Chains A and B, each alone.
Chain A
Amino acid sequence: MLKVENVTKYYDDNLAVDNLSFEVNDGEIFGLLGVNGAGKTTTFRMILGLIDKNKGNITLDGKKIDYSITDQIGFLTEERSLMLKLTVKEQAIYYGTLKGMKEKDILKKLDYYLEKFKISEYKNRKIKELSKGNQQKIQFICAIINDPKLLILDEPFSGLDPLNVEDFMKVIREFRDKGTSIIFSSHRMEHVELFCEKLVILVKGKSVLSGSLKDIKKNYQKKNIIIDASVDENILRSLKGVEEVNKVSNEFIVKIKSDKYIKTVFDYVKECDNVLKFSVEDASLNEIFVETVGGLYEE
């Protein structure tokens, strides 16, 4: 289990991370969200011991993270951290050896993952000759080649098409099932929503929202009502508690301030003709994120 307790980091006088705390249990996927410069990468770097923290504690299974246990950690950086002149095989051996692995084991794992990601033919190709997406796959393979106990993924899906995102997610879920603690950051809320169990949203280094995704969504007051009926859009807008009405195809998406206004909307819709759909849904993570971060970010 990864435990981050009251961690604070200053760069000179600038506060980068402010008293941040969270836990990632074994077999759990944890999302670290925030806009650019929110302190996500700094937090990752502190977890890895790349930079010193000013205050707080970070432990993995109760042990302080130092070079005696970094072999159990897998790390995928936001930018491509690959040596472009090396071949895929050389790169995997390079990073695998630094994780304390033997060459024989590295090559076995490499063959397995190359097969899994359907890129076996690139084994002896130079990294620079690969497409951006394939480079990201190699980087991901290098991060997981040591079967890490803690997997840190900084924007793992950048540069990937939807099919590859799905392949990545499959592997990440496999690691979760094996008991790996996974912490990742992403700007793509739909990805986070798809497989994240817990998350923290950072604004200027400070946690502004944290907990399980389910609870966050549940506790978020605002809801969306999806309506497929012959309604008057203007009347909908004028109803008490309605914040916004959008028409997508034949459906209306009505955003309401809280669930107490569901009845108001329902009372109007039930009087209308052709009612095919009236569905109340939680706000998306993207909406929660924008709502939570937006105002604070502008301050």
Chain B
Amino acid sequence: MKNKLKFLIKQSLKKKIGTKWFKAVNIILCILIVAMANIDRLITVFGGDFNKDTTVYVKDNVGVYDYLEPLFNETTKTVEDLKNYKVEKTDKSLKELKKNIKDTDNIIVEINSSDTNYISSTITTYDALDTISYQLLSNVLNQTKEAFVIGKLGLTENEIIALKSNIEITKKTTNPDLKDNAKAKDIISSGLIILFIVPFFIFITLLVQMLGAEINEEKSTKSMEIIISNVPPKYHFIAKISASSLFVIIQGALLFSYTILAMLVRNLIGGLFGSGIVSSNVSKYLKDIINLLKDSGIIDLLIKGLPFIILLFIVNILAYAIIAGVLASMTTNIEDYQQLQSPIMIIMMMGYFIAIMASTFDGSIFIKIVSFIPLLSALVAPVIYLLGQTTIIELIISLIICMITVAILYIYGLKIYKVGILNYSSSNLWKKILKSLKEK
């Protein structure tokens, strides 16, 4: 009989992942994720105005060009997106230069001395100055000023290095479980919810719909009678739950692998954090997030709690699968099932919104209680754990409660399922269900 169970699981899974649609969707997902993770590179590859050669004409009225030129060339050489920038000293009049830059991306930089700030600069362009050019010139001019002043002061090399280095800042917290950080909370409530909760939400929706469609198809074609005459309903139930849950886990793992692939591709085509101006903005953001998560202790919390979070996800998936299976067995067609599944969707929506609100209502007892409620716990418990509102013990308690619930749901769900899968009439449905629950 175990072979038959394995066969049923295999068949059910094959129905979901053996289709050309599953393959097509996954290829599209993989391409999209890799593309999204490398969107800055894509923008660069396809080119545009920013790709045209740009000459920066420097009208130096102070005598800092000797400092500026090497700094400019150094920056444009190391930053991929700036390789089309050239610098040129000019003695031409501003009027003539303005004529020269008409309908071009070329830039005039006029450097004058300043009483309060050593040097000042006027940048003239035909069209509005773009952000990349502004950042480049701003950096180079600041560095030029710095070099000019340091040169004037006659500092030693070590003094110059010490002057330029960042100040060391050590952050300390006293709570052993939590390293509070408001910005990190924002990242969790916005970023991590999108990363973890939204896929979970989508997967459960898929699971509920697939399970319902499959059971209803078997019921409506009466193939259920052939199956159940050979395999006990218990095995059929287990096969459906297992196959659907496995599908969700496989799809989740595939998405995770696409993300890893996207990161590898990113790393391969120019380093994980990139060197271009566009890339460096993305990279800076990524680095900031990682540092923020590290500093706030969220990474540590995630590492400690990850096995339990994964288990909590799996057990909740099982709970949803059992409920969906039982509901599908009770209905006689897919239309009835679609109506019956809406409470599941509402429960998930509740969990989703509570998870979003968790960072706003820090320490809310209501949200804490919700994190223990099965079906909602997968959405809420990990978020409030990572926000530091609950401890790992409370996360484990959520997991245990959910496991117990799954066991109870399975025992009573199976009783309904046994009766439901061979029931083709909706009359006296609730009476039949109540009767089946009373049976030993």
Binding site for B on A (CB under 8 A): 12, 45, 48-51, 67, 70-71, 73, 75, 77, 79-84, 94-95, 97-100, 142
Contacts and interface: CB of A to CB of B under 8 A. Distances in A.
Contact of A50 (B3, B4, B221, B422): B422
Greatest chain A CB density within 10 A among B218, B221, B226, B431 is at B226
When A and B form their complex, which 5 residue pairs have the shortest distance between CB atoms, in order from nearest?
Answer: A98-B230, A81-B222, A48-B229, A79-B222, A81-B223
7 contacts: A12-B431, A75-B229, A81-B225, A98-B226, A99-B230, A100-B3, A100-B4
Contacts, number: 59
Contact of A98 (B7, B218, B422): B7
A82 B220 CA distance: 10
Contacts of B232: 67
Q: Is the interface of B mostly helix, strand, loop or mixed?
A: helix
A73 B221 contact: no
A80 B221 CA distance: 6
Nearest to B230: A98
A82 B221 contact: yes
A122 to B, nearest CB: 18
A75 B225 contact: yes
B9 to A, nearest CB: 12
B225 A77 contact: yes
Nearest to B419: A51
A45 B224 CA distance: 12
A12 B4 CA distance: 33
Q: Is the interface of A mostly helix, strand, loop or mixed?
A: loop
Contact of B226 (A49, A67, A77, A100): A77
A71 B4 CA distance: 11
Contacts of B228: 50
A97 B229 contact: no
Contacts of A100: 3-4
A87 to B, nearest CB: 12
Contacts of A75: 225-226, 229
Given A81-B221, A95-B226, 18 more contacts: A12-B428, A12-B431, A45-B225, A48-B229, A50-B228, A67-B1, A70-B230, A71-B230, A77-B222, A81-B223, A81-B224, A83-B223, A95-B230, A97-B4, A98-B7, A98-B227, A98-B230, A100-B3
B231 interface: yes
B60 interface: no
Nearest to A65: B229
Interface residues on B, range: 20 to 34
Contacts of A81: 221-226
Nearest to A139: B226
B221 A83 contact: yes
Interface string B398-440: 0000000000000000000000001000001001000000000
Contact of B231 (A45, A51, A67, A79): A67
Contacts of B8: 98
Interface in B213-249: 217-218, 221-232
A227 B4 CA distance: 62
A111 B227 CA distance: 22
B391 interface: no
Contacts of B217: 83
A100 B6 CA distance: 12
A81 B225 CA distance: 8
Contacts of B225: 45, 48, 50, 75, 77, 81
Contacts of B428: 12
Contacts of B205: none
Interface in B1-58: 1, 3-4, 7-8, 11
Nearest to A83: B223
A299 B1 CA distance: 47
A82 B223 contact: yes
A142 B226 contact: yes
Greatest chain A CB density within 10 A among B11, B223, B228 is at B223
Contacts of A84: 221
Contacts of B7: 97-98
Contacts of A70: 229-230
Nearest to A12: B428
A67 B233 CA distance: 11
Contacts of A80: 221-222
Nearest to A76: B226
B415 to A, nearest CB: 13
Nearest to B224: A81
A274 to B, nearest CB: 56
